[in-house]
Amino acid sequence: MLETFRTALSDLEQAGRLRALSPRLRHDFSSNDYLALADSPELAQAVQEALARGVPVGAGGSRLLCGNHPEHETLEAEAARFFGAESALYFGGGFPANSALFATLPQRGDLILYDELIHASVHDGLRMSRAESQGIAHNDVLAFEEALKAHRGRGRVWMAVESLYSMDGDLAPLSDLMELAERHQAMLVVDEAHATGVLGSDGRGLTAPFEGRRNVIALHTCGKALGSMGGILTCAQVLKDFMVNRARPFIFATAPSPLMASVVRASLKLCQEQPERRERLASLVAFTGQRLREIGLTPSGTQIQPVIVGAPERAVALAAQLQAKGYDIRAIRPPTVPEGTSRLRLTITLNVDEAVMANLLDDLKSLLKP
């Protein structure tokens, strides 16, 4: 009865793609907790204070029924002000927020142009969308423009990109894409998951100069640099209202924890009050870049650093060797990344210091020797 599943798992194992859950290790090089907020005393205190004033752990229902709590609405108001948007809508995670957006807002006759390296959550939303979709070569502004011209005179075009790409650590050409969106009356949707809290003024992300425009939507993930949980869509009020009325993942899901909404509020406040966290992270990224050049690797320039090794088996073996030394590093393989680009994905966080980073790169250098 279950043989189909056993066969599929066996095939994955033979291809070097079988996944399994594993515990955390000593030195963090795999989390997205870039600012080391997840286990911070500041957020622990925010939890205690919220509980003390009676904020519940669970919402008890969807927000359109009994689950709408003042903490949700306060967070959305504060997030809209923080990011410079007209409105904000809080989801239980970045994945459902992204999927809901693309399943709901683009309409029949519209076209969604998406960067081919965009998050899996967008692809799930595309499968549920009534709009057509077309992949665009990574960071190819000219290809975006050609597709926009080809669709001229028909429905609205939605351009979907990440500001900071999660597997390569490179940045989108947002200024050029924004200019295209304005010139062709297109919508620009920017997934800020890995930039929120880290890049931009006060950690507002790279969309900050464009937030508040009617044709801009941004996703700000709360479970990465903000150290908590959830996803916030920032957009025009009319788009928020439409999502509240039509987005099935919002309408039919139990509302996010009011307690987590309170913690996200504290995270946004810390972004403003503790710029030294971003400064320390930027310094660690620069230090890492210098050491990478010394061992013959090209730095990404951001807190996401891929070490591409090619074959999935080699990536898995290298990760295992580094894990044995206490480094929490995971192998990333297809289909998460394209064939032939299996890699170690090193994330740089404030959970390590320069000494640990230097030791890791020394060990990595010795393992990469032919």
Catalytic residue among 30, 99, 163, 166: 166
End-to-end CA distance of the chain: 46
Q: Please give the sequence-ordered ranges of beta strands (E in DSSP) within 108-267, or none if there are none.
A: 111-115, 132-136, 157-162, 187-191, 216-221, 231-235
User: 194, 228, 300, 351: which is the annotated catalytic residue?
Assistant: 194
Q: Is 130 helix (H, G, I), strand (E, B) or coil?
A: coil
Pairing outcome for strands 111-115 and 157-162 = parallel
Tell which residue, 107, 227, 219, has the closest CA to residue 163: 219
Compute CA 198 distance to the chain's CA centroid, rounded to the nearest angstrom: 12
The encoded tokens of residue 160 equal 């979907």
Of 28, 110, 115, 162, the catalytic one is 162
- Single-letter code of the amino acid located at 157: V
Q: From the candidates 110, 191, 192, 211, which is the catalytic residue?
A: 191
Asked if 162 is an active-site residue, the reply is yes
Given the residues 119, 151, 184, 220, select the one marked as catalytic.
119
Query: Which tokens sit at 43?
Result: 């957020």
Tell me the HSE value of 183 on the side-chain side, using a 13 A CA sphere.
11
Residues 6+ apart with CB under 8 A from 257: 56, 57, 58, 59, 92, 229
d(CA 72, CA 252): 16
b/e for 58-77, b at 16 or more Cβ within 10 A?
ebeeebeeebebebbeebbe
Between β-strands 342-347 and 304-310, what pairing exists: parallel, antiparallel or unpaired?
antiparallel
Whole-angstrom Cα distance, residue 44 to residue 67? 24
Tell me if residue 194 is catalytic. yes
Q: Which of 27, 28, 30, 32 is catalytic?
A: 32
Is 224 an annotated catalytic residue?
Answer: yes
Distance between alpha carbon 20 and the CA centroid of its chain, in Å? 22
Per-position DSSP letters for 299-360, written without gaps between them = --SSSEEEEEEESHHHHHHHHHHHHHTTEE--EE-TTSS-TT-EEEEEE--TTS-HHHHHHH
CA 90/CA 244 separation, integer angstroms: 11
Q: Which of 27, 220, 224, 240 is catalytic?
A: 224
Active-site amino acid positions: 32, 119, 162, 166, 191, 194, 224
